[in-house]
Amino acid sequence: MKTATRLYFGASALALASAACGASAPTPELMTARNVYSQARSSEASQLNPRGLHDAHKALSAAERAHADDAGSPAERHYAYIATRKSELAIAQASEALALKEQQRAEQDYKAGLERRSEQMAQESSQYSQQLTQTQTQLQASGEELKAREQKVAELKAAADRAQAQLRQMEAIREEEGRMIISLSGGVLFETAGAQLSGRAQTQLATVAQALAAYTDRNIVIEGHTDATGSDSTNQDLSQRRADAVRSYLESHGVPSERLRSVGRGESEPIASNENAEGRANNRRVEVIVEPAQQPRTSSASQATPDPSAASTQAEDAAVATPPDARPRTSSRQK
Amino acid sequence: MHHIRERVALLVLGLTAAACGGAQLNQARVAEVQSSVVAAEAVGANDQPRAALHLQLARDEMAEARRLADDGDGDGAALLLERARVDAELAMQLAKTEQEQEKARQAWQKIQDLQKEQR
């Protein structure tokens, strides 16, 4: 249809032009009319405004006829003027139609863009919602874990308090210069002259190990002591082995080895007279000393044998500290 | 719209009265031209240079048509009236086209703004 319309307008224009050839030269108005009509034909008007283009063609035909009838006449000029305006009108109408189409297309694109954006925002919203739920779940889990840990700490503290209370009940615990000293009777812990822990010792040391768990930042010294029965070297060796036995027990019951040190003091530090059985029984003991808080010991120092010079100094200290009536020894006493 | 009709009616009456001493103008054509002039003004033809030019041509041609009619040149007046009609019609169309093209530009601008927001 459009092609047919174009052919029709094209043929008509040629016919009009050829008709004009035989006559005089066209007026400037007619020249303009032909020119503008040609522009209209090659514009979007041929597709969007065939009716307007047809009107322009009719007007141009009238101008061409007037020119053929009487070249240069006022009628030719008049109809050419009208034809020019009709062609311009056809172009303007087509431009308006094109603008309306563009508006329509832009509105559709805008609507599609809005829909895409809406979908995108819904998707983002869903993602944020999921992340929020995840975070809330994690927070809840962290809160529960924190509660569980707090409860565990409280339980441990309560257990340590109970153990300490038990020790105090045994009247075997005292404090000196920031150190806590737990004194355990050798007669209860060991068989006579031996370094093997007795059954009762296990029960007593279990309580001690439980109490020591509360002092995770303290170093612990285990000192073995004997009475004055037997030779110094025998007593020194026996006290060391007994201190080592207690140390091993504590290690195996959760007290960190790097905080433990065992020392044999032999008979050098009596706390009572070795002249009677009761005094010697008090001197046969193992002391667990919880030192004031400091840096942990290295493993190489954990089992260090006491420095002989230090031992002699300690012996001297003990000699000074021990009353004269507590120093005499008897050869036939039990250890 | 009512206002426009009143103006056209007054114009017709005026032209009729003026025509008493000379040639007669086609009153239907006169009304048609005047309607187109008013409509062109209403869609903003005065604000658009090309439309304003044709609007002014239409007014001048109308005035010339009246003068010729007064002088008794009915044929000349009729031709000028027809010129005035096409010029007024073109002025109105040019203004309308400009309006719609501006709307299309704004519609595309909205899309560009939306695309910028999405980036």
pLDDT in tens, A160-181: 777 777 766 665 778 888 888 8
Q: How far A102 CA lies from chain B's nearest CA (Å)?
A: 6
Q: What value does the mean pLDDT take over residues A118-142?
A: 92
Of residues A189, A232, A230, the one with CA closest to residue A334: A230
Of A74, A86, A117, the CB nearest to B114: A117
What pLDDT score does A311 carry? 39
Q: Are A212 and A290 in contact (CB under 8 A)?
A: yes
If DSSP codes are grouped into helix, strand and coil, which group holds residue A263?
strand
What pLDDT score does A224 carry? 93
pLDDT digit string (tens) for A224-282? Answer: 999 888 888 999 999 999 999 999 999 998 888 888 999 999 999 898 888 888 888 88
* pTM greater than the 0.80 cutoff: no
Task: Name residues whose C-beta falls within 8 Å of residue A335's C-beta, 6 or more positions apart in sequence.
Answer: A186, A192, A193, A226, A227, A229, A230, A235, A238, A284
If DSSP codes are grouped into helix, strand and coil, which group holds residue A25?
coil
Q: What value does the mean pLDDT take over residues B32-51?
A: 94
Of residues B75, B108, B84, the one with CA closest to residue A108: B108
For residue A309, is pLDDT > 90?
no
CA angle at A110 for the pair A107 and A111, rounded to the nearest 5° = 85
Task: List the alpha helices (DSSP H) in A27-73.
Answer: 28-42, 45-48, 50-69
Task: Name residues whose C-beta falls within 8 Å of residue A235's C-beta, 6 or more positions apart in sequence.
Answer: A226, A227, A228, A229, A266, A267, A335
Q: Of the given ranges (A3-17, A27-41, A319-333, B96-110), which has the lowest mean pLDDT?
A: A319-333
Interhelix angle B74-118/A74-169, nearest 10 degrees: 20
| One-character DSSP codes across A68-125 | HHSTT-HHHHHHHHHHHHHHHHHHHHHHHHHHHHHHHHHHHHHHHHHHHHHHHHHHHH
What pLDDT score does B4 carry? 53
Q: What value does the mean pLDDT take over residues A106-119?
A: 91
Task: Name residues whose C-beta falls within 8 Å of residue A73's C-beta, 6 or more positions apart in sequence.
Answer: A66, A67
If DSSP codes are grouped into helix, strand and coil, which group holds residue A305?
coil
Task: Confirm or reject contact between B52 and chain A (CB < 8 A).
Answer: no
What pLDDT score does A106 carry? 94
Q: How confident is the model at residue A76 (pLDDT cuts 50, 70, 90)?
A: very high
Alpha-carbon gap, residue B17 to B90, rounded angstroms: 29
What Cα–Cα distance (Å) separates residue A241 from each residue in A109, A198, A245, A326, B64?
A: 94, 14, 6, 24, 140
Q: Are B78 and B26 in contact (CB under 8 A)?
A: yes
What pLDDT score does B114 carry? 87
Task: Enumerate the residues of chain A whose CB falls inside 8 A of the CB of residue B104.
Answer: 99-100, 102-103, 106
What pLDDT score does A292 carry? 84
What Cα–Cα distance (Å) separates residue A17 from each residue in A25, A34, A244?
A: 11, 9, 131
Alpha-carbon gap, residue A220 to A108, rounded angstroms: 84
Task: Enumerate the residues of chain A whose CB falls inside 8 A of the CB of residue B90.
Answer: 85, 88-89, 92
Sheet harboring A260-264: ordered strands across?
A173-176, A179-185, A285-290, A220-225, A260-264
Q: What tokens were used for A178? A: 């920031």
Task: Confirm or reject contact between B112 and chain A (CB < 8 A).
Answer: no
Q: What value does the mean pLDDT take over residues B28-57?
A: 94
Of residues A40, A68, A66, A64, the one with CA closest to residue A54: A40
Q: What value does the mean pLDDT take over residues A324-333?
A: 40
Q: How confident is the model at residue A32 (pLDDT cuts 50, 70, 90)?
A: very high
Of B90, B101, B114, the CB nearest to A114: B114
Which residue, chain included where needed, has tokens 């609007």? B55
A194 DSSP 8-state letter: -
What pLDDT score does A20 carry? 47
Using the beta-carbon criterion (under 8 Å), do A113 and B90 form an inter-chain contact? no
pLDDT digit string (tens) for A195-233? Answer: 888 877 877 888 888 777 777 778 899 999 998 888 889
For residue A155, is pLDDT > 50?
yes
Tell me which of B16 and A125 has the higher pLDDT: A125
CA angle at A114 for the pair A111 and A118, rounded to the nearest 5° = 140
Which residue, chain included where needed, has tokens 């910028």? B116
